[in-house]
Amino acid sequence: MNYRFSDPVAGLKPSAIREILKNSGDTIPLSAGNPAPDAFPVSDVKEITAKILEEEPILALQYGVTEGYDPLIAELTKLAHEHYGVGTDNDSIIVVSGATQIMSLVSQVFLNPGDTVICEEPSFIGSLNCFRAHGARLVGVPVESDGIDVDALEETLKKESGAKFIYTIPNFQNPSGATMSFEKRKRMYALARQYGVLILEDNPYGDLRVAGDDVPAIKSLDTDGLVIYAGSFSKIIAPGIRVGFVVSPSEISAKLTVAKQTQDVHTTMLSQLLVYKWLKAGKIEDHIKKIKDIYRRKLNLMCDSMDAQLSDYLTYHRPEGGLFVWAKLNKGIDMIDYVKTASKNGVSVVPGNAFLIDSSAPCDYIRLNFSTPSDEGIVEGIKLLKETAEKMR
Amino acid sequence: MNYRFSDPVAGLKPSAIREILKNSGDTIPLSAGNPAPDAFPVSDVKEITAKILEEEPILALQYGVTEGYDPLIAELTKLAHEHYGVGTDNDSIIVVSGATQIMSLVSQVFLNPGDTVICEEPSFIGSLNCFRAHGARLVGVPVESDGIDVDALEETLKKESGAKFIYTIPNFQNPSGATMSFEKRKRMYALARQYGVLILEDNPYGDLRVAGDDVPAIKSLDTDGLVIYAGSFSKIIAPGIRVGFVVSPSEISAKLTVAKQTQDVHTTMLSQLLVYKWLKAGKIEDHIKKIKDIYRRKLNLMCDSMDAQLSDYLTYHRPEGGLFVWAKLNKGIDMIDYVKTASKNGVSVVPGNAFLIDSSAPCDYIRLNFSTPSDEGIVEGIKLLKETAEKMR
């Protein structure tokens, strides 16, 4: 049978990364993006889950409403306001099955095939693929060490007046690690207002700051109902529970709810009850402090190792948080060749072109992750990257 | 801000049912579709969940692969084959976050805006809305007491040669309660093959047969890679866990996986592990026997009460399973008026027009549900429906 797939899905190319990393199964995984397992609040999860199934098993097992469990929404409203500084009376919150679902819901609610989405370049491949799967035309704007190039953004907005939204990861961007300065956030917001374009602000890593000061969310500036804020518990509690939340103008939230009803009806009830009771018990601030210590140690271990061993081969900006280091290989080292050779030598990193809109464009960057490997894995991985570069010389 | 929503989402009408049932909060809910809470295997869930979080907490909390947890897929492959009679070497299985996600994934993978989907009429509003949200043009084919009118289906296929798929709920259809005969299933499959159209076979209620004999799935006839089979644990274990599975030709499964990655990355790990260990422990057959007893009692209680009290006002076919009774009001009773008056009198049912493609078309049917209310609720609800009819006379 010759299947007649939809145009956007038929047009999706097989992943170049997958091909390159196909045989990286037994390597040290500096290519992944999993949170560190020792950052999971395992004993809280055990205790709270047992309590839920003891006291409210039917609530945990029955259908729930699409918007999310009401008491959880109340806790999230408080958290969004007090902890993230986002959400006004014009906004409402819905609970989603991980922040990726927000990209999917926003795409479904806003994109007609051929519509333009403006994104940082490089940017998170998962989100780019989601927009692509909805037939979006992606237009990239370069990322600098203090976030998106706002002059280039203005030029792009002048040309792309019909663009539906700007997709940004302002904190510890994936893959660049860059954090957008407050000045740039204000400028982006003003531009969005001027050009009548929405902002989709994705903040999965915001709590993983290990140096420097927090920068207010773009959503905190949102007096005009222009910003959709994507929050996630994947890096705070754990990704396997699939819980995120979206703060957006109520008119948009209503449409996102309709779309969510057609996608998965509602988010797993036990996961929602777990997050609710965990927040309600006031666990979050201490836990974030604890995981920041873990990520600070791992980030510094990776960067110190890189400084000691790789400074002849690559350059990078030390990020102030997040999960990733984005490094530029020195002239003369072919990036694709380097990634393939490294994989054969026992360490995997992600080729930077994967994060470009046109993944066949030339790219000298690699992305390294420090949250998935053990501390020993980080040290050994960087050593293998050095040996790879030496061999190739 | 004037939000520019996508065409299909902007075109979705507010639900007529919601308006009618708005004030049905304190009524006896014959309008719902929740499984009976006493059908949930609560003690199994408690015990297995505790074991998982004790023995494999990191597996339960970390990211999983999009296709689903491998050992669960192996169990589902066995279950699909042995219990449902579906799945060949050409098929593969992916785990989804409830069967509704299958409708969403299939829509994303196959539908361009304006594409035609052929469905039974009446049919499940949730699926119809999902197809609508992807810009589908719905074409209905009447349902008879032994399932879809296959002659009308053939006429429709002749006219709609570009249709992407036929959506069917062959067992205890929602809302009609009808089960498609094996003869009709074979004819539908032959027609699909002849006209080069896929079949999306949705089987959420198949295990809830309380009378008569099982009929083989359409997917069991699938020698040509034409059938996508949607299975669900919502009515067998519980809906709050959000676990379903799709059996489809591997080429289609690969595209569904890509789409799922953009929707929610993967299904909640704890839910997947729970279903895996529950199946592995061989719990399913005894449990289905147990819930059949519950649903048989409730179905018969409702139908016997209807026979005793409502035979002057409506007619219906007693279904052999599922969750719903589809009843036609006698001439002279205005359906919308009746549903509204019943709601004021303390009992809610769903107006049948909600399940039509054009919900403004005339309709004499109401849908009653016997799984959500208690036994006393069923008896009291039917009594109130009788009083409503008497009052309106």
Q: What are phi and psi of A367, to 5 degrees?
A: -110, 130
Q: Do A255 and B9 touch (CB under 8 A)?
A: yes
Say how far apart CA B218 and CA B166 lie, in whole Å.
12
Partners of B239 on chain A (C-beta within 8 Å) are: 61-63, 265
Q: Take residue B215 and report the two structure tokens written for it.
A: 């009929």
Say how far apart CA B111 and CA A135 lie, in whole Å.
12
What pLDDT is attached to residue A215?
Answer: 98
Same topology, domains B13-40+286-392 and B43-282? Answer is no
What Å distances lie between residue A234 and A239, A264, A325, B54, B62, CA to CA? 4, 18, 19, 21, 9
Q: What number is the ipTM of this complex? A: 0.97
pLDDT (tens digit, 9 = 90+) per residue, A99-137? Answer: 999 999 999 999 999 999 999 999 999 999 999 999 999
E-state strands within chain B: 28-29, 91-96, 116-121, 137-144, 147-148, 165-168, 198-202, 227-232, 244-249, 314-316, 324-329, 347-348, 350-351, 365-369
Per-position b or e across B102-127, b if 16+ CB within 10 A of its CB: bbbbbbbbbbbbebbbbbbbbbbbeb
Would you tell me how many other CB atoms lie within 10 Å of the CB of residue A296? Answer: 15
Partners of B35 on chain A (C-beta within 8 Å) are: 62
pLDDT beyond 90 at A13:
no
pLDDT beyond 70 at A22:
no
Alpha helices (H) along A173-220 = 182-195
Give the model's confidence band at B319: pLDDT under 50 very low, under 70 low, under 90 confident, else very high. very high
Q: Which residue from B115, B130, B263 is facing A101, i.e. has the nearest CB?
A: B263
A101 touches chain B (CB under 8 A): yes
Find out whether B239 and A63 touch, Cβ atoms under 8 Å: yes
Give the model's confidence band at A15: pLDDT under 50 very low, under 70 low, under 90 confident, else very high. low
Total count of residues recorded for chain B: 393
Please enumerate in sequence order all residues whose Cβ is within 8 A of that of A152, keeping only pairs 6 or more positions apart, or say none: A141, A142
Q: Which residue from A42, A58, A115 is facing B37, i.e. has the nearest CB?
A: A58
Say how far apart CA B306 and CA B304 lie, in whole Å.
5
pLDDT (tens digit, 9 = 90+) per residue, B116-170? Answer: 999 999 999 999 999 999 999 999 999 999 999 999 999 999 999 899 999 999 9
CA distance A57 to chain B (A): 7
Using a 10 angstrom Cβ sphere, with 0-12 exposed, 13-18 middle and 19 or more buried, the burial of residue B390 is exposed
Q: Which residue from B6, B225, B268 is facing A271, i.e. has the nearest CB?
A: B268
Partners of B267 on chain A (C-beta within 8 Å) are: 242
Which of B236, B226, B197 shows the shortest CA–CA distance to B83?
B236
Give DSSP secondary structure letters for B34-103.
PPPGGGS-HHHHHHHHHHHHHH-HHHHHS---TT--HHHHHHHHHHHHHTT----TTEEEEEESSTHHHH
What Å distances lie between residue B254 and A126, A207, A356, B288, CA to CA? 16, 35, 23, 31
- 8-state DSSP, A124: -
Q: Do A62 and B238 touch (CB under 8 A)?
A: yes
Q: For A7-40+286-392, which CATH superfamily applies?
A: Aspartate Aminotransferase, domain 1 (3.90.1150.10)
What pLDDT is attached to residue A386?
Answer: 98
Give the model's confidence band at A11: pLDDT under 50 very low, under 70 low, under 90 confident, else very high. confident
B1 touches chain A (CB under 8 A): yes
pLDDT (tens digit, 9 = 90+) per residue, B199-240? Answer: 999 999 999 999 999 999 999 999 999 999 999 999 999 999
What pLDDT is attached to residue B16?
Answer: 63
Give the class (CATH, top level) of B43-282.
alpha beta
Interface of A with B in 234-253 (CB under 8 A): 234, 237-242, 249, 251-252
pLDDT beyond 70 at B355:
yes
pLDDT (tens digit, 9 = 90+) per residue, A162-220? Answer: 999 999 999 999 999 999 999 999 999 999 999 999 999 999 999 999 999 999 999 99
A261 touches chain B (CB under 8 A): yes
Q: pTM surpassing 0.80?
A: yes
CA distance B333 to chain A (A): 33
Q: Do B259 and A9 touch (CB under 8 A)?
A: yes
Calculate the average pLDDT of chain A.
Answer: 96
What pLDDT is attached to residue B12?
Answer: 81
What pLDDT is attached to residue A249?
Answer: 98
Partners of A266 on chain B (C-beta within 8 Å) are: 242
Whether the ω angle into residue B8 lies within 30 degrees of 0, i.e. cis, is no
Percent of chain A's residues with pLDDT above 70: 97
Calculate the average pLDDT of chain B.
Answer: 96
Q: What are phi and psi of B241, to 5 degrees?
A: -80, -15
Q: Which residue from A57, A234, A259 is facing B42, i.e. has the nearest CB?
A: A57
Which helix (H) or strand (E) segment holds residue A181: the answer is none
CA nearest to A227 within chain B: B1
CA distance B49 to chain A (A): 8
**Least confident span in A14-28, A92-106, B41-55, B322-336:** A14-28
What pLDDT is attached to residue B301?
Answer: 98
Interface of A with B in 186-245 (CB under 8 A): 196, 198, 224-226, 234, 237-242
Would you tell me how many other CB atoms lie within 10 Å of the CB of residue B293? Answer: 12
B259 touches chain A (CB under 8 A): yes
B58 touches chain A (CB under 8 A): yes
Sign of the alpha-carbon torsion through B355, B360, B364, B366: positive
Find out whether B169 and B122 touch, Cβ atoms under 8 Å: no
Say how far apart CA B100 and CA A258 lie, in whole Å.
13
In a mutational test of the B interface, the residue from A270, A276, A287 whose CB has the highest number of chain B CBs within 10 Å is: A270
Q: Which sequence spans correspond to the domains of chain B?
A: 13-40+286-392, 43-282
Using a 10 angstrom Cβ sphere, with 0-12 exposed, 13-18 middle and 19 or more buried, the burial of residue B82 is exposed
pLDDT beyond 80 at B287:
yes
Secondary structure of residue B371 in the 3-state scheme: coil
CA distance B260 to chain A (A): 10
pLDDT (tens digit, 9 = 90+) per residue, B12-55? Answer: 876 666 666 666 678 999 998 899 999 999 999 999 999 999 99
Q: Do A110 and B264 touch (CB under 8 A)?
A: no
Secondary structure of residue A140 in the 3-state scheme: strand
> What is the mean pLDDT of the segment spanning B45-74?
97
> What is the mean pLDDT of the segment spanning A252-281?
97
Domain A43-283, CATH number (from 2.102.10.10, 3.40.640.10, 1.10.10.10, 3.40.50.280): 3.40.640.10
Give the class (CATH, top level) of B13-40+286-392.
alpha beta
Q: Do A252 and B112 touch (CB under 8 A)?
A: no
What pLDDT is attached to residue B26?
Answer: 85
Residues paired with A244 in a beta bridge: A96, A232
